[in-house]
Chain A
Amino acid sequence: MAPLGSYLALSAILFAIGMIGFLSRRNIILMLVSAEIMLNAVNVSLAGFSHHMADQRGQILALFVIAVAAAELAAGLGLVIALTRNRPGVNIEDLTQLKW
């Protein structure tokens, strides 16, 4: 079996990739998908800890993370619909109404 360190390293790298994607993409939907990548990276870390420590609470936490990801999807895409109704396009740099 793979050691815990490799699970954690994989989780850290996936989280960093998701973070780069979330910060740098201009498309709101792809930003939300990058957030899903980050949540998935955390799930990898939780499953690794659960395996290593022979404790299934990590798996239950990962299940809760998946449900929160579904909630985030519903709320985020509702916001995207509301945005695209007011102005076409999902470019994050166009949303400057609050800028003074």
Chain B
Amino acid sequence: MAISAGQIVFYYLAAASIASAILAVTRANPVHGMLWVLALFLHVAGIFLLAGAEFLAAVQVIVYAGAILVFYLFFLMLLDLPAEAAGPRFGRHWPLCALAGFAFAALALWVRIPGLTPAGELTASASRGSLRTFGLALFQQFVLPFEILSLVLLAAIVGAVVVARGRTGS
């Protein structure tokens, strides 16, 4: 079986993202963990590029790696980082958690879908990743979920302000 260049790149990206995810959840220093999450997000953006989802890759880099991660890093400044890094990083129940995680992974890898074949014409995939078809689908077929999503974001922002402001406003 010949291995194409795309497959080699995919397996590199997959191995790198798994390694950075493991490092991200096990580092004692939260800032180091956050930087490994940044590496994970960039590698996942590469996987999106390989899957023909260019717009999704751009959103992944801009929103996840840019906005969300910077926000998390900003909130880490609330912590007492040396004390945080010195204490135990896992709870006492961590073997149970690891067992649950491995059981989930084993279950998900064990379940196979044998009859999964492409539903549509694969020749149509040339224009599939383009921003034009993506935007048309987003604003025609999915316009109602899109608007509901904007309401969800608005509710989350207002809720965050209300919760974070505390009792001083009353």
Which residues of A does B touch, CB under 8 Å? 1-2, 4-21, 23-27, 29-30, 32-34, 36-37, 40, 43-44, 47-48, 50-57, 59-60, 62-64, 66-75, 77-82, 84-85, 88-93
How many residues from B make CB contacts under 8 Å with A?
Answer: 90
- B127: shortest Cβ distance to chain A, in Å? 10
Q: B137 near A56 (CB under 8 angstroms)?
A: yes
Q: B159 near A78 (CB under 8 angstroms)?
A: yes
A-B CB pair tally, cutoff 8 Å: 242
Q: B149 near A67 (CB under 8 angstroms)?
A: yes
Say whether, besides A1-B4, A2-B7, A60-B137, A24 and B104 are in contact (CB < 8 Å).
Answer: no
* Dominant SS among interface residues on chain B: helix
Distance A56 CA – B33 CA, assembled complex (angstroms): 33
Say whether, besides A44-B47, A75-B156, A82 and B166 are in contact (CB < 8 Å).
Answer: yes
Task: List 19 other contacts, CB 8 Å, given A74-B160, A84-B78.
Answer: A1-B10, A10-B17, A10-B18, A10-B47, A17-B25, A18-B25, A19-B101, A33-B34, A37-B25, A43-B48, A47-B47, A55-B120, A57-B141, A62-B56, A71-B152, A78-B160, A79-B163, A81-B163, A82-B164
